[in-house]
Amino acid sequence: MKKFIGSLAIISLIMLAGCGGTADQKKEKNANKVATTASTDLAKVEVQEGNYVILPDVSEDELSTIALKMKVTNTSKGKLSLTARNFVLYEAGDDEKIKAEDVYADELNVLDYDTLSKDKSTTGSIFFNIDPKKEYKLVFEAMNDNGDNEDVELTLDMAKYEDSKEGFKESENAANAFLDVQFLNNENENYAKLVANDKEETKAEFLKTYKKENEDRLFSELTLSDQDYQNCFNSFTSTQGKRAKLNTELSAYYGDQAILEITLDEALSNSSIYDLSYQYERNYIDSSDNYDYDAAEKYAYSKYTEILEKSPLKSESDEIHLYLKKKDGKWYVDLDEMHNEQTISAFLGNIY
Protein backbone atom coordinates (compact mmCIF):
# COMPACT_ATOMS: atom_id res chain seq x y z
CA MET A 1 0.00 0.00 0.00
CA LYS A 2 1.40 3.37 -0.99
CA LYS A 3 1.87 5.98 1.70
CA PHE A 4 -0.07 9.11 0.79
CA ILE A 5 1.80 11.98 2.39
CA GLY A 6 -0.12 14.82 0.83
CA SER A 7 -2.82 15.12 3.49
CA LEU A 8 -0.99 17.84 5.39
CA ALA A 9 2.71 18.23 5.36
CA ILE A 10 3.98 17.41 1.91
CA ILE A 11 1.24 19.10 -0.10
CA SER A 12 1.94 22.30 1.78
CA LEU A 13 5.67 21.77 1.52
CA ILE A 14 5.39 21.66 -2.24
CA MET A 15 3.06 24.65 -2.32
CA LEU A 16 5.81 26.55 -0.52
CA ALA A 17 8.43 25.50 -3.02
CA GLY A 18 7.56 27.95 -5.77
CA CYS A 19 9.59 27.93 -8.94
CA GLY A 20 13.34 27.61 -9.40
CA GLY A 21 15.50 28.62 -6.45
CA THR A 22 18.11 31.07 -5.31
CA ALA A 23 21.76 30.77 -6.23
CA ASP A 24 22.52 29.60 -2.68
CA GLN A 25 19.84 26.91 -2.90
CA LYS A 26 21.11 25.66 -6.26
CA LYS A 27 24.66 25.59 -4.89
CA GLU A 28 23.52 23.47 -1.93
CA LYS A 29 21.71 21.04 -4.22
CA ASN A 30 24.67 20.75 -6.60
CA ALA A 31 26.90 19.88 -3.66
CA ASN A 32 24.91 16.67 -3.16
CA LYS A 33 25.11 15.52 -6.76
CA VAL A 34 27.24 12.41 -7.10
CA ALA A 35 27.95 10.79 -10.47
CA THR A 36 27.33 7.18 -9.51
CA THR A 37 26.64 5.11 -12.62
CA ALA A 38 26.53 1.45 -13.59
CA SER A 39 25.55 -0.25 -16.85
CA THR A 40 24.65 -3.70 -18.19
CA ASP A 41 23.18 -4.98 -21.43
CA LEU A 42 19.73 -4.20 -20.06
CA ALA A 43 19.98 -0.84 -18.35
CA LYS A 44 22.15 2.09 -17.41
CA VAL A 45 21.43 3.42 -13.92
CA GLU A 46 22.70 6.68 -12.47
CA VAL A 47 22.27 8.25 -9.02
CA GLN A 48 22.06 11.91 -10.00
CA GLU A 49 21.52 13.36 -6.56
CA GLY A 50 21.09 12.30 -2.94
CA ASN A 51 19.52 14.18 -0.04
CA TYR A 52 18.33 13.28 3.42
CA VAL A 53 14.71 14.25 3.99
CA ILE A 54 12.00 13.98 6.65
CA LEU A 55 8.66 12.74 5.34
CA PRO A 56 5.63 12.24 7.61
CA ASP A 57 4.50 8.62 7.86
CA VAL A 58 7.68 7.52 6.08
CA SER A 59 10.66 8.58 8.18
CA GLU A 60 11.18 6.38 11.22
CA ASP A 61 12.87 6.84 14.58
CA GLU A 62 16.59 6.06 14.65
CA LEU A 63 16.63 5.81 10.86
CA SER A 64 17.21 8.42 8.20
CA THR A 65 15.25 8.76 4.98
CA ILE A 66 17.42 9.20 1.93
CA ALA A 67 15.96 10.50 -1.32
CA LEU A 68 17.90 9.33 -4.36
CA LYS A 69 17.20 10.95 -7.70
CA MET A 70 17.64 8.24 -10.29
CA LYS A 71 18.05 8.20 -14.05
CA VAL A 72 17.37 4.90 -15.82
CA THR A 73 18.12 4.28 -19.51
CA ASN A 74 17.01 1.20 -21.44
CA THR A 75 20.09 -0.31 -23.11
CA SER A 76 18.35 -3.57 -24.09
CA LYS A 77 16.57 -4.59 -27.29
CA GLY A 78 13.18 -4.96 -25.64
CA LYS A 79 10.96 -2.69 -23.60
CA LEU A 80 12.10 -2.14 -20.02
CA SER A 81 9.51 -1.94 -17.25
CA LEU A 82 10.35 -0.35 -13.92
CA THR A 83 8.93 0.99 -10.68
CA ALA A 84 10.53 2.17 -7.45
CA ARG A 85 10.14 -1.43 -6.27
CA ASN A 86 12.74 -2.50 -8.82
CA PHE A 87 15.30 -0.78 -6.58
CA VAL A 88 16.53 -2.42 -3.39
CA LEU A 89 19.36 -1.79 -0.97
CA TYR A 90 21.64 -4.34 0.62
CA GLU A 91 23.53 -3.48 3.76
CA ALA A 92 27.19 -4.41 3.52
CA GLY A 93 27.60 -7.99 4.70
CA ASP A 94 23.86 -8.66 4.76
CA ASP A 95 21.76 -10.40 2.10
CA GLU A 96 18.44 -9.03 3.34
CA LYS A 97 16.71 -6.64 0.96
CA ILE A 98 15.74 -3.15 2.03
CA LYS A 99 12.85 -2.13 -0.17
CA ALA A 100 12.15 1.39 -1.33
CA GLU A 101 9.42 3.15 0.62
CA ASP A 102 6.08 3.38 -1.16
CA VAL A 103 5.53 7.11 -1.46
CA TYR A 104 2.87 8.80 -3.51
CA ALA A 105 3.05 12.53 -4.14
CA ASP A 106 3.14 13.78 -7.70
CA GLU A 107 4.98 16.93 -6.72
CA LEU A 108 7.92 14.95 -5.31
CA ASN A 109 8.66 13.46 -8.74
CA VAL A 110 8.60 9.95 -7.31
CA LEU A 111 9.88 7.30 -9.68
CA ASP A 112 6.62 5.57 -10.57
CA TYR A 113 5.68 2.83 -13.01
CA ASP A 114 7.13 3.38 -16.48
CA THR A 115 7.91 1.43 -19.63
CA LEU A 116 10.98 2.44 -21.62
CA SER A 117 11.68 1.68 -25.24
CA LYS A 118 15.26 1.09 -26.38
CA ASP A 119 17.59 4.00 -25.60
CA LYS A 120 14.86 5.91 -23.76
CA SER A 121 15.36 7.31 -20.26
CA THR A 122 13.32 8.37 -17.25
CA THR A 123 14.15 10.13 -13.99
CA GLY A 124 12.53 10.17 -10.56
CA SER A 125 13.20 9.89 -6.86
CA ILE A 126 13.19 6.81 -4.66
CA PHE A 127 13.19 6.80 -0.86
CA PHE A 128 14.84 4.45 1.63
CA ASN A 129 14.99 4.37 5.42
CA ILE A 130 18.59 3.58 6.32
CA ASP A 131 21.21 3.74 9.03
CA PRO A 132 23.56 6.48 7.76
CA LYS A 133 26.50 4.92 9.58
CA LYS A 134 26.34 1.78 7.47
CA GLU A 135 27.41 1.02 3.91
CA TYR A 136 24.95 -0.01 1.23
CA LYS A 137 24.78 -1.40 -2.26
CA LEU A 138 21.95 -0.22 -4.52
CA VAL A 139 20.58 -2.82 -6.92
CA PHE A 140 18.23 -2.23 -9.84
CA GLU A 141 16.48 -5.44 -10.74
CA ALA A 142 16.11 -4.94 -14.49
CA MET A 143 13.71 -6.94 -16.65
CA ASN A 144 12.46 -6.38 -20.20
CA ASP A 145 9.52 -7.76 -22.15
CA ASN A 146 11.77 -10.35 -23.84
CA GLY A 147 12.14 -12.06 -20.48
CA ASP A 148 15.71 -10.92 -19.99
CA ASN A 149 16.62 -9.99 -16.43
CA GLU A 150 19.81 -8.79 -14.78
CA ASP A 151 20.82 -6.87 -11.66
CA VAL A 152 22.52 -3.49 -12.06
CA GLU A 153 24.62 -2.82 -8.97
CA LEU A 154 25.95 0.46 -7.58
CA THR A 155 27.96 0.97 -4.42
CA LEU A 156 26.78 4.02 -2.45
CA ASP A 157 29.00 6.25 -0.35
CA MET A 158 26.47 7.53 2.17
CA ALA A 159 28.98 9.99 3.63
CA LYS A 160 28.66 12.06 0.46
CA TYR A 161 25.09 12.94 1.39
CA GLU A 162 25.67 13.93 5.02
CA ASP A 163 25.88 17.65 4.27
CA SER A 164 22.26 17.61 3.15
CA LYS A 165 21.24 17.13 6.80
CA GLU A 166 22.49 20.57 7.78
CA GLY A 167 19.17 22.08 6.83
CA PHE A 168 17.33 20.01 9.45
CA LYS A 169 18.74 21.82 12.47
CA GLU A 170 19.00 25.14 10.71
CA SER A 171 15.33 25.21 9.75
CA GLU A 172 14.29 24.02 13.21
CA ASN A 173 16.38 26.76 14.85
CA ALA A 174 14.86 29.33 12.51
CA ALA A 175 11.32 28.21 13.32
CA ASN A 176 11.92 28.30 17.07
CA ALA A 177 13.55 31.72 16.79
CA PHE A 178 10.46 32.97 14.98
CA LEU A 179 8.21 31.71 17.77
CA ASP A 180 10.45 33.13 20.48
CA VAL A 181 10.75 36.62 19.06
CA GLN A 182 7.30 37.10 17.59
CA PHE A 183 5.03 35.38 20.10
CA LEU A 184 6.91 34.80 23.34
CA ASN A 185 8.80 38.08 23.84
CA ASN A 186 12.10 36.22 24.06
CA GLU A 187 15.39 37.19 22.51
CA ASN A 188 16.89 34.65 20.15
CA GLU A 189 20.12 35.33 18.28
CA ASN A 190 19.10 32.90 15.54
CA TYR A 191 16.39 35.28 14.37
CA ALA A 192 18.82 37.69 12.72
CA LYS A 193 20.97 34.83 11.45
CA LEU A 194 18.31 32.52 10.08
CA VAL A 195 14.89 34.18 9.73
CA ALA A 196 14.03 36.09 6.55
CA ASN A 197 10.94 37.87 7.94
CA ASP A 198 11.64 41.47 8.94
CA LYS A 199 11.39 41.50 12.72
CA GLU A 200 9.58 44.81 13.23
CA GLU A 201 7.34 44.57 10.16
CA THR A 202 6.17 41.13 11.27
CA LYS A 203 5.50 42.35 14.81
CA ALA A 204 3.44 45.19 13.33
CA GLU A 205 1.35 42.70 11.35
CA PHE A 206 0.66 40.67 14.47
CA LEU A 207 -0.27 43.84 16.36
CA LYS A 208 -2.89 44.54 13.68
CA THR A 209 -4.31 41.03 14.12
CA TYR A 210 -4.31 41.41 17.90
CA LYS A 211 -6.06 44.80 17.70
CA LYS A 212 -8.74 43.54 15.32
CA GLU A 213 -9.45 40.58 17.59
CA ASN A 214 -9.71 42.59 20.80
CA GLU A 215 -11.34 45.81 19.67
CA ASP A 216 -14.38 43.80 18.60
CA ARG A 217 -14.71 42.01 21.92
CA LEU A 218 -12.58 42.58 25.01
CA PHE A 219 -12.10 46.32 24.43
CA SER A 220 -15.25 46.92 22.39
CA GLU A 221 -16.67 49.50 24.80
CA LEU A 222 -13.41 51.39 25.29
CA THR A 223 -11.73 54.08 23.21
CA LEU A 224 -8.07 53.12 23.06
CA SER A 225 -5.21 54.75 21.23
CA ASP A 226 -2.70 52.94 19.04
CA GLN A 227 -0.22 53.20 21.89
CA ASP A 228 -2.74 51.65 24.26
CA TYR A 229 -3.04 48.67 21.93
CA GLN A 230 0.73 48.48 21.61
CA ASN A 231 1.08 48.39 25.40
CA CYS A 232 -1.58 45.68 25.69
CA PHE A 233 0.04 43.65 22.93
CA ASN A 234 3.41 43.92 24.67
CA SER A 235 1.83 42.72 27.92
CA PHE A 236 0.16 39.84 26.11
CA THR A 237 3.33 38.55 24.42
CA SER A 238 5.40 39.08 27.56
CA THR A 239 2.94 37.08 29.66
CA GLN A 240 2.62 34.45 26.95
CA GLY A 241 6.38 34.04 27.04
CA LYS A 242 6.35 33.50 30.81
CA ARG A 243 3.31 31.23 31.04
CA ALA A 244 3.03 29.23 27.82
CA LYS A 245 4.25 25.63 27.68
CA LEU A 246 4.94 24.10 24.30
CA ASN A 247 6.97 21.45 22.53
CA THR A 248 8.28 21.65 19.00
CA GLU A 249 9.67 19.13 16.57
CA LEU A 250 10.73 19.28 12.94
CA SER A 251 8.13 17.08 11.27
CA ALA A 252 8.95 17.52 7.59
CA TYR A 253 11.90 18.63 5.52
CA TYR A 254 12.31 18.35 1.79
CA GLY A 255 14.74 20.44 -0.20
CA ASP A 256 14.24 24.06 0.77
CA GLN A 257 10.99 23.63 2.70
CA ALA A 258 10.38 22.64 6.30
CA ILE A 259 7.53 22.21 8.76
CA LEU A 260 7.75 22.58 12.54
CA GLU A 261 5.12 20.69 14.50
CA ILE A 262 3.99 22.54 17.64
CA THR A 263 2.20 21.06 20.63
CA LEU A 264 0.74 23.93 22.62
CA ASP A 265 0.13 22.37 26.04
CA GLU A 266 -0.73 25.59 27.89
CA ALA A 267 -1.18 29.12 26.60
CA LEU A 268 -3.22 32.27 27.04
CA SER A 269 -6.80 31.91 25.89
CA ASN A 270 -8.91 34.87 24.80
CA SER A 271 -12.03 33.21 26.15
CA SER A 272 -10.43 32.81 29.60
CA ILE A 273 -9.17 36.39 29.52
CA TYR A 274 -12.61 37.65 28.56
CA ASP A 275 -14.31 35.67 31.33
CA LEU A 276 -11.88 36.88 34.00
CA SER A 277 -12.11 40.47 32.78
CA TYR A 278 -15.88 40.29 33.07
CA GLN A 279 -15.48 38.96 36.63
CA TYR A 280 -13.28 41.98 37.47
CA GLU A 281 -16.04 44.23 36.16
CA ARG A 282 -18.66 42.45 38.28
CA ASN A 283 -16.48 42.69 41.36
CA TYR A 284 -16.07 46.43 40.77
CA ILE A 285 -19.84 46.90 40.43
CA ASP A 286 -20.53 44.83 43.53
CA SER A 287 -18.06 46.83 45.60
CA SER A 288 -19.36 50.23 44.52
CA ASP A 289 -22.50 52.16 45.40
CA ASN A 290 -23.60 52.62 41.81
CA TYR A 291 -23.82 50.73 38.55
CA ASP A 292 -21.22 52.62 36.57
CA TYR A 293 -20.45 50.05 33.88
CA ASP A 294 -18.11 52.40 32.01
CA ALA A 295 -16.03 52.78 35.15
CA ALA A 296 -16.10 49.01 35.66
CA GLU A 297 -14.77 48.39 32.14
CA LYS A 298 -12.03 50.95 32.63
CA TYR A 299 -11.14 49.32 35.93
CA ALA A 300 -10.84 45.89 34.32
CA TYR A 301 -8.73 47.42 31.55
CA SER A 302 -6.40 48.93 34.17
CA LYS A 303 -5.90 45.39 35.53
CA TYR A 304 -5.23 43.85 32.10
CA THR A 305 -1.72 42.62 32.90
CA GLU A 306 -2.91 41.14 36.19
CA ILE A 307 -5.76 39.42 34.34
CA LEU A 308 -3.29 37.95 31.85
CA GLU A 309 -1.18 36.61 34.69
CA LYS A 310 -4.16 35.04 36.48
CA SER A 311 -6.40 33.83 33.67
CA PRO A 312 -6.65 30.02 33.29
CA LEU A 313 -4.45 28.63 30.56
CA LYS A 314 -5.80 26.32 27.91
CA SER A 315 -4.29 23.83 25.49
CA GLU A 316 -4.63 23.65 21.74
CA SER A 317 -6.25 20.28 21.11
CA ASP A 318 -5.02 20.11 17.52
CA GLU A 319 -1.39 20.05 16.51
CA ILE A 320 -0.39 23.28 14.83
CA HIS A 321 2.40 23.79 12.36
CA LEU A 322 4.78 26.46 11.17
CA TYR A 323 5.68 26.24 7.50
CA LEU A 324 8.95 27.70 6.26
CA LYS A 325 10.72 28.03 2.94
CA LYS A 326 14.26 29.10 2.11
CA LYS A 327 14.48 32.64 0.78
CA ASP A 328 17.77 34.33 -0.03
CA GLY A 329 19.68 32.04 2.30
CA LYS A 330 17.29 32.39 5.25
CA TRP A 331 14.01 30.81 6.30
CA TYR A 332 10.79 32.65 5.52
CA VAL A 333 7.40 32.24 7.20
CA ASP A 334 4.52 33.17 4.88
CA LEU A 335 1.98 34.85 7.19
CA ASP A 336 -0.84 34.24 4.71
CA GLU A 337 -0.24 30.50 4.39
CA MET A 338 -3.33 28.70 5.73
CA HIS A 339 -1.61 26.61 8.41
CA ASN A 340 0.58 29.51 9.50
CA GLU A 341 -2.56 31.63 9.94
CA GLN A 342 -3.92 28.95 12.27
CA THR A 343 -0.71 28.97 14.30
CA ILE A 344 -0.64 32.77 14.51
CA SER A 345 -4.24 32.77 15.70
CA ALA A 346 -3.48 30.17 18.40
CA PHE A 347 -0.50 32.08 19.78
CA LEU A 348 -2.60 35.26 19.86
CA GLY A 349 -5.10 33.58 22.15
CA ASN A 350 -7.61 31.80 19.94
CA ILE A 351 -7.59 28.45 21.69
CA TYR A 352 -10.59 27.02 23.50
| Tens-digit pLDDT profile for residues 46-76 | 999 999 999 988 998 878 999 999 999 999 9
pLDDT for res 157: 86
What single letter denotes the amino acid at residue 73?
A: T
CA angle, 169 then 170 then 173, to 5°: 80
According to the model, what pLDDT value does residue 244 have?
97
Confidence band, pLDDT 50/70/90 cuts, at residue 34: low
| pLDDT confidence band for 198 (50 / 70 / 90) | very high
pLDDT tens sequence across 296-317: 999 999 999 999 999 999 998 8
Residue 14 predicted with pLDDT over 80: no
Q: Are 37 and 46 in contact (CB under 8 A)?
A: yes
Window from 22-26, 91-95, 235-239, 272-276 with minimum mean pLDDT: 22-26
Give dist(CA 157, CA 291) in Å, integer: 79
Residues 55-75: b if buried by 16+ CB within 10 A, e if exposed: bbebbeeeebbbbbbbbbbbb
Q: How far is CA 295 from the centre of its chain?
A: 47
Which pLDDT tens digit goes with each residue over 100-126?
Answer: 998 877 667 889 889 999 999 999 999
pLDDT band, residue 2 (cuts 50/70/90): very low
Residue ranges matching CATH 2.60.40.1240 in the chain: 35-156
Average pLDDT over residues 329-352: 95
Helices and strands (H, E) in the chain, number of each type: 10, 16
Q: Reply yes or no on domain 35-156 having CATH 2.60.40.1240.
A: yes
pTM score: 0.85
- Band of residue 36 on the pLDDT scale cut at 50, 70, 90: confident
